[in-house]
Homo-oligomer: A and B are copies of this chain.
Amino acid sequence: MDRVATGISGLDEMLNGGIPARRHVALYGGPGCGKTSFAFEFIYKGAKAGENGLYISLEETQEDIIENMKNTFPMFNDIQDLLKSKKMQILKPNKIDMEGIAETIEENITDRDVKRVIIDSGTMVKISFAKEIEYRQTLFEFFSLLRNMDCTSLTTLEAATSKKEEIVYEIEHFVMDGIINLYNLDRGDRRIRALEIFKMRGTDHSRDLVPFKVTPSGIKVYVGEKVF
């Protein structure tokens, strides 16, 4: 079975080697839980390992993401090179339009042999629809297109809460092949970040909740450490 190693320290171990290839996974969490950092490192590590990446930003500009990520990961000192050589590309579409995004992904797969795709954030797509039924139909069509493409994707999704107990699963979660929950957990006087692999079709995986940190040299997932 093909797997796509995320390159994120500890996460691949939890996934028994990586995300099953050609699967479409949600990164789900509230504000400030590190979704963009996860998504970026997935693309960055892929680019370094020879798998070209496409980061579709529906909210921040390319410049903001790059500046943000350089600050977040100062030890990723070849970001600019990878962007220049187009091993990694960040695009911000002019408008939020699922069909256009699907075309962009397909073109990038054909032209640049892109293997890894980020959509940040899927919530921007959701809130661009006035009627939920239209959103659902568009979403199904989008994933039907995506399932026929040779790429593995992460889509960030915004949760309305940072409490582990109150997460509500919605249509996006049923459609997607996997869900990685990121938490910014309330520990009274401070917050700690943690993650769990909640669903991953086609592979066994860890079911533990584990703490993680975003460090200058990349995300560290502390497999085997307890949060509570």
Binding site for B on A (CB under 8 A): 1, 20, 30-32, 36, 59-61, 64, 67-68, 71-72, 121, 123-124, 127-128, 130, 133, 136, 147, 158-165, 167-171, 173-175, 177, 179, 184, 186, 188-192, 196, 198-204, 207-210, 214, 226-228
Contacts and interface: CB of A to CB of B under 8 A. Distances in A.
Nearest to A68: B202
A132 to B, nearest CB: 9
B32 A68 contact: no
Nearest to A72: B202
Contacts of A199: 31-32
A191 B205 CA distance: 11
A94 to B, nearest CB: 11
Contact of A133 (B130, B168, B179, B188): B130
26 contacts: A1-B67, A1-B71, A31-B198, A31-B199, A59-B174, A59-B175, A60-B201, A61-B147, A64-B201, A68-B201, A71-B202, A123-B174, A127-B136, A158-B174, A159-B169, A160-B168, A161-B167, A162-B169, A163-B165, A184-B198, A188-B209, A189-B210, A189-B226, A190-B209, A191-B198, A204-B214
Contact of A209 (B189, B208, B227): B189
Given A59-B175, A174-B121, A207 B191 contact: yes
B158 A186 contact: no
Contacts of A123: 174
